[in-house]
Structure 1
Amino acid sequence: MNKKVILVLLFFTILKVEAQSSTFSVVDSLFEKGRYQLALKELTKIDASFTSNYKRAIIYKSIDNYKKTAEFLEKALEFQDDKRAKLKLAKAYQRLNKPSKSIKIYEKITIKDSLNLVLKYQLGKLYLITNNATKAVSLFKNLIKKDPSNAHYSYQLALAYAKRNDRDRMINSFIDTFEKDTTHLKAIAHLASSFQKLKDLDSTKLFVEKGLELDKNHINLNKLKINQLYREEKYKESIPLLLNLDTIDKKDTYSISMLGRTYYNLDSLEKAKKYFKKLSILDRKNYKAYTYLGHIAMKEKKYTGAQFYYRVATTRGKEKRDEEYFGLATMYYETKKPKEALVNFEKAYKENARNYRALFQLAKISDDYYKDKKIAYRHYIKYMNNFEGRDADMTNYIKRRITEIKKEYFIRGKKLDR
């Protein structure tokens, strides 16, 4: 009797396995044809198992449903411990922005498979994503010991040092990357940027040029080169680079802004005007477009336009607006409105207490406008206390006026207050 029961159970088990195998074959065929919903429907007809859950996860992954992918991989692993499924689950967690869960899986796998450098490399990058720089440094150092010639390990180590604000070790690791692979563009770009921040002009130029030899359209390297040319007042040299950058980086207004500034400095006012007007439309927060349009209007003696543009700039600007108030004050001064000029030169100086030109103009026009020279005298003294060595002509003028005002008040028997 017992033998009969066992045979019956064995028979039904074989039938069940055959049925599942048949279903899996149908599912595989449907999957290959891209009929994913039908394949998923077939899988619901059989009892849950490692294979059925794994196949459902694979189908969901193919349609970018990573939430369902993770769900069915988790269910599959309840039936069977499987390295392949774990790795796919770790990647699904990454897609779901759950790197901490991915890390736990990779850590467990790498303990058992300590020679798998690829998995350790992925784990190190996850440490960086989660700002665990200390673990990342330790891991990438270990990888470099095992494979000293691998430039990618040195590059990731540099990024880990960057997370720790360890500038010197970061730069050394980027250099190490470059020495291992002279075509490692990301390392080259980081080195160019790092040396630029350190004001090491020669090293910056070296890595900028090396990077642009590899990729002439590299956006950040082009910007570094353009900015340096601009600082050196090599405006004509920067124009071809800016025009090229404008064609490859449509989303950023940097090239439009710099083309406007460059043409302005070359006194090509119509071209400058074109780019600044375009900038004012594309980036309404960039109030400097209106500042330069104001400057252009001043050069063209179009004072009404200058007043409009400067006022818009002072209204929209959120940072120091001393340049804008200075422009507005100059416009009023040139249109014979000294009182309004004084108000705006004072605003310019209040916006930026290091703007010595604004303080000089405030002092000089106060001197011209008011009969009482005490106001001008106080401004002159303030200038001498803070900016005596900034401009020889201004300083000499102020020294002479201070002497003259003192003499005038002494003759009149009046006291000057500082």
Structure 2
Amino acid sequence: MRSLFVLLCVLTIFNSEAQTSVLNQADSLYSNGNYSKAIEVYKTHINQDEVYAKIARSYVAIGNYDSALEFYKLAAEADPKNGLILYEYARLLSKTKNFEASIEVFNKLMNIDYRNPNYHYEMGLALERMEDDSTALNRFRSAYDLDQTHQKAIFKIAKHFLIKRKHEISHRYIDKGLESYENNIELISLKAQNYYYQDDYHNARAWFQKLIAMGESSEFIHEKLSTLHAEFSDYELAIEQRKLVLKYNPYSSDAMLLIGSYYNRLKDYKNAEKYIRQSLALKDVPLDYEYQLLGTVLNRQDKNKEAIEAFQKSLKENPENISSEFYILSTKDKYYADLDTKIKLYEDFRDKYPDTFYSKFASKRITELKEEKFLKAED
């Protein structure tokens, strides 16, 4: 009996050591980025409750979010008070647009630790993606109340008030954020935009220039800074920034026209002419196809009057676009009731374009309309 007991103890120790070895091997594979192999080894572990979260993380690492969610759910059921597992699970649910399920898990997390600001912030992101903006703002504010250095929450709140044009409130949150992180580019950008939309061009220019000094570059930044330089008649600086806009949008006729106008202010007429001509060359593109396409779309919605207006604009853009002229005619055919008027329109078109593809359609339609008129007369 004693021998049997000893044997069982030895087997238990052996199995325990074997499982520890399996776990160490899987953890090593995971640490070295061999995630798929790690998953295989984790799944051989006897106590699966211990490795559900690790399997889930491995699936996240290889981008298999459906399987990751499956194992996070198992992990959360096995250890329902493990905040880290629930947090990772909730974030992945939000990332995969399972917003309602994500919010449900975040609520569980708040029951565990309501004073964790990031739970509120991440829940706010899920609510924001559901377009529940007011509730999302409340979560961001809760995150801020719990941690007044929470940069991401501050950005969300400040951006909300910028959009609402409540600039002073937005400034207050931005300033609070910059106290703890003075080089937060997102907050500096919001600061510049607040001043710009307040027409405080002096401060707006200073903050946009700060972004440039920090190595930031975008079409939006250069466009706004160019406009601000021009406000102060610093046309050389305005030109410099507007040329940077062209690097992002090389076919911007508006940017070229503005550069030409700035050169004109500097009395550099040669460059002014160059950029104005380039602007006109880009603008001098007939839009007949675009208006013609719009007309056909309107026709399909039985918006015949609007369709005629679109085709007329197409013809104005390109008077030689016979197809647009025919579309006008065919639309009027549907729009007008008087048969004689329709016949006259088609006859005029046929006489004007006798050798075109469309004249055959016109002749056929004239015949149909005359037959319709004859039948009505007999009635």
- Name the SS for the 2:106 alignment partner: helix
Q: Which residue of 1 aligns with 2:145?
A: 179
- Which residue of 166, 179, 198 corresponds with 1:213? 179
- Which residue of 57, 61, 73 corresponds with 2:30? 61
One-letter amino acid of the structure 1 residue matched with residue 142 of structure 2: D
- Which residue of 87, 92, 99 corresponds with 1:133? 99
Q: Distance in 2 between matches of 1:216 and 1:286?
A: 35
Residues 76 and 180 of structure 1: CA distance in aligned 2, closer, same or farther (over 3 Å): closer
Residues 126 and 207 of structure 1: CA distance in aligned 2, closer, same or farther (over 3 Å): same
- Which residue of 127, 131, 134 corresponds with 1:165? 131
- Name the SS for the 1:122 alignment partner: helix
Cα drift, residue 191 of structure 1: 0.4
Q: Which residue of 1 aligns with 2:325?
A: none
Deviations 1:126-163 (A, max 9, x none): 11101011111122123223322121111112111112
8 Å Cα contact 1:226-1:242 kept in structure 2: yes
Gaps of at least 5 residues in structure 1 are 1-9, 22-48, 322-346, 352-418
Percent sequence identity over aligned pairs: 22
Q: Which residue of 2 aligns with 1:397?
A: none
TM-score (norm 1): 0.58
8 Å Cα contact 2:226-2:237 kept in structure 1: yes
- Which residue of 256, 276, 283 corresponds with 2:242? 276
Q: Distance in 1 between matches of 2:100 and 2:225?
A: 43
8 Å Cα contact 1:217-1:245 kept in structure 2: no
Residues 288 and 91 of structure 1: CA distance in aligned 2, closer, same or farther (over 3 Å): farther
- Which residue of 213, 226, 231 corresponds with 1:260? 226
Residues 314 and 190 of structure 1: CA distance in aligned 2, closer, same or farther (over 3 Å): farther
1:119 and 2:119 are equivalent in the alignment: no
Cα drift, residue 301 of structure 1: 4.8
Q: Distance in 1 between matches of 2:190 and 2:257?
A: 24
Deviations 1:190-236 (A, max 9, x none): 00111122222232222122222222222222122212222333333
- Name the SS for the 2:114 alignment partner: coil
Q: Distance in 2 between matches of 1:178 and 1:274?
A: 40
Q: Which residue of 2 aligns with 1:70?
A: 36
Choose 153-162 or 204-213, whichever is displaced more. 204-213
Q: Distance in 2 between matches of 1:221 and 1:246?
A: 14
Q: Which residue of 1 aligns with 2:264?
A: 298
Deviations 1:49-78 (A, max 9, x none): 8667655544443443xxx42234224413
RMSD: 3.2
Residues 197 and 309 of structure 1: CA distance in aligned 2, closer, same or farther (over 3 Å): same
Deviations 1:361-398 (A, max 9, x none): xxxxxxxxxxxxxxxxxxxxxxxxxxxxxxxxxxxxxx
Q: Which residue of 1 aligns with 2:214?
A: 248
Q: Which residue of 2 aligns with 1:7?
A: none
One-letter amino acid of the structure 2 residue matched with residue 61 of structure 1: Y
Show the 5 A alignment for 1:316-335: none
Residues 186 and 273 of structure 1: CA distance in aligned 2, closer, same or farther (over 3 Å): same
8 Å Cα contact 1:226-1:238 kept in structure 2: yes
Cα drift, residue 315 of structure 1: 6.1
Residues 126 and 237 of structure 1: CA distance in aligned 2, closer, same or farther (over 3 Å): same
Q: Which residue of 2 aligns with 1:191?
A: 157
Q: Distance in 1 between matches of 2:26 and 2:276?
A: 61
Q: Distance in 2 between matches of 1:243 and 1:108?
A: 52
Show the 5 A alignment for 1:360-399: none
Q: Distance in 2 between matches of 1:145 and 1:59?
A: 34
1:149 and 2:118 are equivalent in the alignment: no
Q: Distance in 2 between matches of 1:76 and 1:111?
A: 18
- Name the SS for the 2:125 alignment partner: helix
Deviations 1:237-258 (A, max 9, x none): 2333223211324453544333
1:106 and 2:82 are equivalent in the alignment: no
8 Å Cα contact 1:242-1:255 kept in structure 2: yes
TM-score (norm 2): 0.63
Q: Distance in 1 between matches of 2:204 and 2:60?
A: 42
Gaps of at least 5 residues in structure 2 are 1-6, 288-312, 318-379
Q: Which residue of 1 aligns with 2:351?
A: none
8 Å Cα contact 2:53-2:85 kept in structure 1: no
**Number of aligned residues:** 275
Q: Which residue of 1 aligns with 2:168?
A: 202
One-letter amino acid of the structure 1 residue matched with residue 187 of structure 2: L
Q: Distance in 1 between matches of 2:150 and 2:217?
A: 26
Residues 315 and 72 of structure 1: CA distance in aligned 2, closer, same or farther (over 3 Å): farther
- Which residue of 190, 193, 205 corresponds with 1:239? 205
8 Å Cα contact 2:120-2:143 kept in structure 1: yes
8 Å Cα contact 1:54-1:73 kept in structure 2: no
Residues 58 and 285 of structure 1: CA distance in aligned 2, closer, same or farther (over 3 Å): farther
Residues 184 and 288 of structure 1: CA distance in aligned 2, closer, same or farther (over 3 Å): farther
One-letter amino acid of the structure 2 residue matched with residue 125 of structure 1: R
